[in-house]
Structure 1
């Protein structure tokens, strides 16, 4: 299944103030900020890369789950179902968390 074009466009719009690169990977469209994967638009879900220290709190939100690849859980990577991103407030929450962590990753 292809990634959600609607979700990809929302992410693009949210990141217009930043130099980004888009990269197709794992059936999703990844948005790279400062050379690091920050957000992805997938099939009916968005993936956010957030501070692993916030993971346990944030993954408890409705429509969220930990990213699992190859049977391994990735702390700091959360899938959010697109239906739980309908409000701008919810969408902006995840974009903000991803950008804050991206800044930590690239500030050193």
Structure 2
């Protein structure tokens, strides 16, 4: 199952409307959106949940408050949740206003986020 192309287009359109200079990158069956070479958000196919989820990098300051919402799940790939990152279920980004809310949180946090170290290319 591939990530939700319709959701990807919605994210692209909103980021363009917000005049965000982003890039996107396919990763492990999902799609990652980056701003200033840092993860902004993404689309993750969750086999347990059975649907595409919005991955949102929102920062630790709002993390706990947002996790209280029924549409939010801790971002957990390894059995240990990543603080500052959440998954949003489709009910949480169904409307354009809801999707815009999550993207605004991601965009607001992005300048505070640390960039990943670039990987060295294998020779």
TM-score (norm. length: structure 1): 0.89
Count, aligned residues: 106
Deviations 1:23-61 (A, max 9, x none): 111321000111000010223211100121211100111
Alpha-carbon offset, residue 88 of structure 1: 2.1
What is the distance in 1 between the residues matched to 2:103 and 2:70? 16
Q: Distance in 1 between matches of 2:98 and 2:24?
A: 23
* 1:45 aligned counterpart, secondary structure: strand
In structure 1, the residue corresponding to 2:108 is in which secondary structure?
A: helix
Match for residue 78 of structure 2 among 43, 65, 70:
70
8 Å CA contact 1:2, 1:42 repeated in 2 = no
Partners in 1 of 2:84 and 2:29 — Cα distance? Answer: 20
Structure with the greater alpha carbon radius of gyration: 2
Please name the residue that 1:45 is paired with.
Answer: 53
Structure 1 residue ranges, 4+ long, deviating more than 3 angstroms after superposition: none
Aligned residue among 92, 105, 108 for 1:100: 108
For the 8 Å contact 1:7–1:82, the answer to whether it is kept is no
Alignment RMSD (CA, Å)? 1.4
Of structures 1 and 2, the one scoring higher in RCO (CA 8 A, sep 6+) is 1
